[in-house]
Copies of this chain bind each other. A is one copy, B any other.
């Protein structure tokens, strides 16, 4: 019956533990992004063409797997360069934030990331809080301080007040909402994401009344 040429050909390929674990995490990211964390391990296993017991050979529990998914999705995407970018006084604050948000959107605005982020916010394992702490301390606060200078205010060293922070949370929200519309609300975005981000930052600085409507190519690099 078997048509192989004498050498016992394995019907099934085994993967090395490490490789399989990686694959499980990768698949799980996409899977949980689609189904939410209620998605069943059997379904996930089926996607990999494997029995669901395999998952439990490599992960202690479903929760342990979810933990790994978090790590993979959150921590791996933060670019430490961004922290110095915001402080780089060779550029205007507007240039810095434009570049930051364009790069940020590039790395973070995808189906998996956005949905898992929002899902876990609803579940509140405390992970979104931790992530947003990073955003605040590395981006929002520094930007608020830089704005003082940009505006030519006298040098001060006191930490930014609530209103100064709120301002930049507002920008962050406007940008992030682009991703929410696309990946959570499933609204068709007729403009490409980069252009949307550029426009959002531009409008943040200039205001609506001070600025003509730009084409989607929106240029604010200078």
Q: Which residues of A are in contact with B by a Cβ distance under 8 Å?
A: 36, 38, 115, 118-119, 121-124, 128-129, 132, 147, 150-151, 161-164, 166-167, 169-174, 176-178, 180-181, 184-187, 190-191, 196, 199-200, 203-211, 213-216, 218
CB pair B205 A205 closer than 8 Å: no
**Copies of this chain, tallied across the complex:** 2
Q: Which residues of B contact A177 (CB under 8 A)?
A: 169-170, 172-174, 176-177
Q: Which residues of B contact A150 (CB under 8 A)?
A: 209
How far is A115 from B185 in the complex, measured between Cα atoms in Å?
13
User: Which interface residue of A36, A123, A207 has the most chain B CB atoms within 10 A?
Assistant: A207
CB pair B173 A180 closer than 8 Å: yes
Give min CB distance, A199 to chain B, whole Å: 6
CB pair B122 A184 closer than 8 Å: yes
Given contacts A122-B36, A186-B124, contact A207 B203 (CB under 8 A): yes
CB pair B178 A173 closer than 8 Å: yes
